[in-house]
Amino acid sequence: MKNSILLILATLLLFACGESKEKSVSDLITSGDLETLRAKKTEIAEAQKENENHIKLLDSVIAIKSGVEKLPLVTTLVAKTEKFEHFLELQGSVQTKQNVLIYPEMPGTLQRVYVKEGQRVRKGQLLATIDDGGIGSQLAQLKTQAALAKTTFERQERLWEQKIGSELQFLQAKSKHEAAESAVKTVQSQLGKSTIRAPFSGVIDNVIKDQGTVVAPGPGSEVFRIVNLSDMYVEVDVPENYLGNIKVGKEAKVFFPALGDTLDSKIRQTGNFINPSNRAFTVEVAVPNKKGVIKPNLTARVSLNDYTSDAAILIPQGIISENAEGEQYVYVAENNEGDKAVAKRRIIETGKTQGSLVEVVSGISSGNLLIQEGARTVKEGQNVQISN
């Protein structure tokens, strides 16, 4: 140690002697030589750096000789257990199974439209009528014929019970009565197709055809679009490696960027089929829509709970380092004496990551004092000073 101190002093002395032999800065400025001035500036800058290094060496020697060792300052945090929920982030869109186009069931003129766009309707409510083309008149005639056939059959039945008339007459009356009733039911069914009714309760999203338009069954003749906004969900594709972790009833969070709103929900259905094209299965998350502002095909970011631990140790990722063997480690402050401690390296095993925190599965325990700031500069067994 004594030899090191003498070497430093000798270096400083030589540097000072060299300085005296050089031309003064004022003399060089007077000469006006630009290249010489630049060279002098570079020389002085290098000398300044060398002086700073010498000062650091002197500080170290002074600290050692005075018995005051300068310890690296670190901050610490206490490892503790807490509930940890990990969420898988995915993107999807809002869907509803009750979003349909309503077509006419018979050709004809759209005689009357009873609803407007945006109107709420009940299941079975009359939405429009189509000109029946005389089916109503035909039904009235058939009902008259059916009534006569019924009366004839009832009289023939009473006579047959009294053993009056032949069995053939009775059977003929019965057959005519049944045929007339069947004909009435058939025409009633046809006439029912002249009315368009709501298949479920919802909102009329679009009135596509105007009153007086000629319509017919098939593509291109849609009359209404009806949507049920109360039973909605977000559908997402989940990679197959999460199949064992994503279950019905688990917590889910849905964020709508367009609305700037987040709602809490649950997984209501998981698919039973792995799509071979993307190796994923579909998951449905229920979307309550009490305010009615959520619409079909609205983009959503979905967070699905795929892991939960009631006693996890979470630490900042920034304090974790890795050695040449690929092992992860942190430093723990041990043998505390006031604000002094010893840095000890602990090899750890990590689990799930959420944001800037990572779960530690093994290597540290609750109550350990982890070195936070300064963790990248300390060494194994080094004395440190804690300054929280």
Give the CB-side neighbour count of residue 88, counting CA atoms within 13 A. 21
- CATH code for position 285: 2.40.30.170
Whether residue 121 is found in the same domain as residue 219? yes
Whether residue 7 is found in the same domain as residue 109? no
Whether residue 117 is found in the same domain as residue 176? no
Whether residue 182 is found in the same domain as residue 213? no
What is the C-alpha to C-alpha distance for residues 297 and 95, in angstroms, rounded to an integer? Answer: 6
What is the C-alpha to C-alpha distance for residues 262 and 109, in angstroms, rounded to an integer? Answer: 47
What is the C-alpha to C-alpha distance for residues 212 and 209, in angstroms, rounded to an integer? Answer: 9
Residues whose CB falls within 8 Å of the CB of residue 379, separated by 6 or more in sequence, listed in order? 343
The residue among 308, 334, 350 that closes a domain is 308
- CATH code for position 315: 2.40.420.20
> What pLDDT shows up at residue 378?
87
Whether residue 163 is found in the same domain as residue 274? no
Whether residue 211 is found in the same domain as residue 303? no
Whether residue 368 is found in the same domain as residue 304? no
Find how far residue 170's CA is from the centre of its chain.
74
Tokens of 317: 């990722």
> What pLDDT shows up at residue 72?
82
Residue ranges for the chain with pLDDT beneath 70: 1-25, 28, 30-33, 56, 59-69
Whether residue 53 is found in the same domain as residue 118? no
The residue among 277, 308, 339 that closes a domain is 308
Range of the domain at 184: 132-193
> What pLDDT shows up at residue 386?
86
> What pLDDT shows up at residue 9?
44
Please give the tally of structural domains in the chain.
5
> What pLDDT shows up at residue 215?
87
> What pLDDT shows up at residue 303?
94
> What pLDDT shows up at residue 8?
43
Whether residue 207 is found in the same domain as residue 257? no
φ/ψ region of 236 (left if φ > 0, alpha if ψ in -120 to 50, else beta) reads beta
> What pLDDT shows up at residue 177?
87
Give the CB-side neighbour count of residue 178, counting CA atoms within 13 A. 6
> What pLDDT shows up at residue 313?
92
Whether residue 220 is found in the same domain as residue 116? yes
Whether residue 110 is found in the same domain as residue 205? yes
> What pLDDT shows up at residue 269?
92
Whether residue 247 is found in the same domain as residue 136? no
For 60, phi then psi, to 5°, come to -65, -45
What is the C-alpha to C-alpha distance for residues 173 and 171, in angstroms, rounded to an integer? Answer: 5
